[in-house]
Structure 1
Amino acid sequence: MSTERIESVIVGGGQAGLATGYHLARQGRPFVILDAGERVGDAWRGRWDSLRLFSPAKFDGLPGRPYPGPAWSFPTRDEFADYLQDYAAWAELPVRTGTAVRRVSSEGGRYVVETDGDKTYEADNVVIAAGYDRLPKLPTYAAELAASTTQIHAHDYRNPGQLQDGPVLVVGAGNSGADIALELAGTHQVLLSGRDPGQVPWRVERRPAHFFVPAISFLFRHLLTVRTPIGRKIRPNVLAHGSPRIRVKSADLAAAGVQRVARTTGVREGQPVLADGTTPKVANVVWCTGFRPDTSWIDLPVFDTDGEPAQYRGVVDSQPGLYFIGRLFQYSMVSSMIQGVGDEAEYVVRHLAARTPAQPRPVTPSAVNSAGS
């Protein structure tokens, strides 16, 4: 087991980690980015095949490098993953892929980052950018479904070929559930179960969105924050239930033959039970029931009773040098969104640099030097 001493370690090489790396590199600070994937962007490549981003390309760029392509197109899963890979190469960020972090702790005034490989890192600063949605959430009664029923979480869903013939119950009617239900309607009878989260009242692919999307983006970034009364009021609801549907409308689901049913509340004799007491006979269940953050590997006393780190805009006062980036509504409605991680990363890096004074050394990547031009 070898140990490497370095000023800062970023855990996670997704959009939040790369944005943080960009700002550190511009200041000439020594750091590494550790990512478990074999390639930068693999977290996106592992999502369902037909996934497209909900935000237009105009809002999908990271600091210093706009997303290429038409401003009002919607990148696919693989296109955005490739953009992240290209971004890391363009900025010459020190991403070490295939490096899973299994523990972060502190010892002797420094942070200790242990990996599944043969290397440990000692650092003055650690930025946790490992993603908010790490562990699929399943109801406890999922284990009671009949063995003959194919069940899969959205985390593992790729395409309709994973399911057997027969009706499908999609549990969860948010963005993922609606997208998957609409896709499955082409090959299966689909029941969509869950509370209706509402929907944005315009089509994101049509011209009116060119006005509404920038306005909503401004609202999310500047008004819906932990500093405003309205932001503090809606934050608990966002953390508990997510946001309204963006692309798929109720009319789209109805036109495709997707049947809306009551919430799923349990299992009876191997079949799901709905809130209205009915027991639909289905051959498949797709759980679009969300995720929960995995913080078990962070061995530091920074979490409250709800499992949230005690932080302000990513800065953990009780553990100087520890930062979080990209968590849901961490500071604003866009904190976990692609369009928001750049601002959050810049704030964290300013704080980090002030805490850890260093004489800026020349930045060797020419791409980073020219990023502001």
Structure 2
Amino acid sequence: MKIALLSYSTKPRGGVVHTLALAEALAATGEDVTVWSLGRGGDSGFFREVAPDVRVRIVPFPEGPVDETVGERILRSISILRDAFDPSPYDIVHAQDCISANAVGRCIRTVHHLDHFTTPELAACHERAIVEPYAHICVSRSVADELAEGWGLAAEVIPNGVAYDRFASTGPAARDAWRSRLGRYVLTVGGIEPRKGSLDLLEAYALLRADHPGVRLVIAGGETLFDYRDYRARWESRAAELGVAPDVLGQVADDDLPPLVAAADAFVFPSVKEGFGLAAMEALAAGVPLVVRDLPVLREVFGPAARFGADPRTLAAHLAAALTDDDPDRRTAGRELAARHTWDSAAQRHLDFYRSSR
């Protein structure tokens, strides 16, 4: 079977991590897999090396005019990918986001999470990418239920895998290097943006510091098509008002991420909208205590392996507990949960779905 997987970015966002891991697991079964993506900022490859049995096609995406709006950038992204992609050689065309789903025509779509956009072009892109694909996959039952309730669409639920060994086997030297640099820290991965609950996290961190003044907040990752400059400015202003100075690392090299996660004293995931929470599952694989937003989808995915906070006060309280309570049962439950989510299993379930939906 010839399979095309399509993503909008080469950067380490959750959907991109998913796309590459799925492609590699599918190729390992003997399928012919090609990953397509737009190459922004001059990128000619993905944020990490991809297994040699996966073909990679990066479509150059030149910088637009200085005054280009988000909506214009979305439309240009769709147009450039559409012009470059020929679906005819493939038995399965599988889009992982609204941009690629709009660009490729008839396809299967993974709906990682559902958003509510106000930018007209983006709202239209989001809607078409839901209603036009001929089949749908969701990474959690909660998102599949949203799809059924809002659009009357039935989706196959195939949870993410996790690179368990990569995060569970970090050596002490690599962990100690991060601890030497940062001391004790609470980590989040995903950048500073509204969906990630970044302002609430600041408030929670300020509360946490009252009793744990030596603990730092470290923020890794973050790359998006959207313009969050106003939100980032509000975030920086509020940090100054609260007297806190988180360590914002930006994109971390792929080899450095597992020890950065493993060295954390706790991992916090305060997103207000998620489909699964792959970065949080990686933290469980590393044996790191996990505090997440109290959302139905995260209750579904993490259950007793995580602590759940609904607002800055309860997030801070649970982070304090994670820093001070040794809970080996919860840690064991987290590792066991992460170990059950394999990309091999996810790939086999995708293949079964591809065959049944053709």
* Same fold (TM > 0.5): no
Larger radius of gyration: 1
Q: Which has the higher helix share?
A: 2
TM-score (norm 1): 0.31
TM-score (norm 2): 0.32
